[in-house]
Structure 1
Amino acid sequence: MKIGLFFGSFNPVHIGHLIIANYMANYTDLDQVWLVVSPHNPLKEKGDLINMYDRLEMAKLAVENTQNIRVSDVELKLPQPSYTIDTLAFLHEKYPEHHFSLIMGSDNLVSLKKWKNYELILRDYHIHIYPRPGFENAELINHPSVTITQTPLMELSATFIRKSFKEGKNVQFFVSDPVLKFIESKNLYK
């Protein structure tokens, strides 16, 4: 099975993430997409990062009724900080019957050379790229391991959603109803 790994903080998971995952699972050669909840991206500040288990639960709620999108907690069980190459090696060993590839925005392609063992990622794995405004000419965009998709452009961000929660604004339709209920029940992002 071809599985696309969509890594993220998912702080919170929102409609933009789900649109990208759905597109990748249904409009590319991938059979499934796994949302891989990351405890903390080593290249980002922790900032407003909430508990990783709350983020995991929100991701599960967001995809509970989908056919070919699931959630993985693999990075929560691995040593931290979590590096993509280590997660890929672990998954390859645990699921040798699957072929894993990465899903990332063109903005992440720009910083890929900062990743641990990025050369091995490019050598051994395929990368499905969804476009992000302003990052159309990333250095590795024409690499043979990279495929640019026609995923609908999404300018929705978790930062915007967290800010909206803090300001008491309505975020209905930006996050799924089960995720919104979970956030409200735990009084997150206030």
Structure 2
Amino acid sequence: MTAGALRSEVLTPGMRVGLFGGSFDPVHAGHLHVARTALKRLALDRVWWIVSPQNPLKPHAPGDLARRLRAVEAAARAPRMVVTDIEARLGVRYTADLVARLTAAHPGVRFVWIMGADSLAGFHRWKDWQTIAARVPIAVIARPTDPIRARLSRAARTLSRHRLPQSRAAALPSCLPPCWTYLTAPLHGESSRALRAHGARPASP
């Protein structure tokens, strides 16, 4: 992690900050699509790319954390993008714990959790997923893989009455959770799994 990236983690009350977590193994254009869509449609001040040391739901261990951080830093060079290893530095394993720590430490910051629609399909398997939804608004960005399955998932059905129309997406960071929205945008079909399977390098943003 560079000193510049660490300095960019400074937060002030009133900021609208998207939290985009993942192993990013490897990072690809689909990830950048999700981050850019959230940044624009939610009118965010920052998007934090939270590079996780591990993913408890994935059967394989991710690659070296330092290598993945460097790759994400190279891909996410746009203004208002912040790359962080805060999970590793705080020693937390689960998103629910990270969200609890961040919201407690920065009560005046308007956090939003960002995920692709493929993550929404399995969101109900995350540890304390309903606690996450109760702590921060959630923005789901459409992905080409199983969009119907995501919108019919257990989490989507459970939270259906709290869904904000995407026409009001810019209001999401100010909403009292639970609150979520599903954003459609031109889709990127790349996935980390496909890139690993074919031994390919991530596409240039």
Letter in 2 for 1:50: G
Trace 1:17-32 onto structure 2 (pairs within 5 A). 17-32=31-46
Within 5 Å, give how 1:137-156 maps onto structure 2.
137-141=152-156, 142-144=160-162, 145-156=179-190
Aligned residues: 168
Say yes or no: does 1:175 pair with 2:204: yes
Counterparts of 2:133 and 2:104, CA distance in 1: 18
User: How much has 1:119 moved relative to structure 2?
Assistant: 1.9
Q: Which amino acid aligns with 2:96?
A: I
Q: Distance in 1 between matches of 2:89 and 2:60?
A: 19
CA distance in 2, matches of 1:11, 1:110: 19
Alpha-carbon RMSD: 2.0
Q: Per-residue CA shift, 1:106-148, capped at 9, x if unaligned?
A: 2322322222222221212111001233223223332412200
Give the secondary-structure state (helix, strand or coil) at the position aligned to 2:79: coil
SS state at 1:121 partner: helix
Q: Which amino acid aligns with 1:51?
A: D
Is the alpha carbon distance of 1:50 and 1:42 closer, same or farther for their aligned partners in structure 2, counting shifts above 3 Å? same
- Mark the runs of 5 or more structure 1 residues left unpaired by the alignment: 177-190
With structure 2 as the length reference, what TM-score do the two structures score? 0.74
C-alpha spacing 1:77/1:143, structure 2 compared with 1 (3 Å): farther
The 2-side partners of 1:160 and 1:37 are apart by 19
- Matches of residues 1-190 of structure 1 in structure 2 within 5 Å? 1-47=15-61, 49-64=62-77, 66-79=78-91, 82-132=93-143, 133-134=145-146, 135=149, 136-141=151-156, 142-144=160-162, 145-165=179-199, 171=201, 174-176=203-205
Give the letter aligned to residue 31 of structure 1. D
8 Å contact from structure 2 (residues 29, 188) kept in 1 = no
Instruction: Indicate how the Cα distance of structure 1 residues 68 and 10 shifts in structure 2: closer, same or farther if over 3 A, else same.
Output: same
Extract unaligned runs of 5+ from structure 2. 1-14, 163-178
Worse overlay, 94-103 or 84-93: 94-103
Deviation larger for 32-41 or 96-105? 96-105
CA distance in 2, matches of 1:162, 1:118: 28
**1:39 Cα offset (Å):** 0.9
Identical amino acids, percent of aligned pairs: 32
One-letter amino acid of the counterpart of residue 88, structure 2:
L
Give yes or no for contact 1:20–1:151 (8 Å, CA) kept in 2. Answer: no
SS of the aligned residue for 1:58 comes to helix
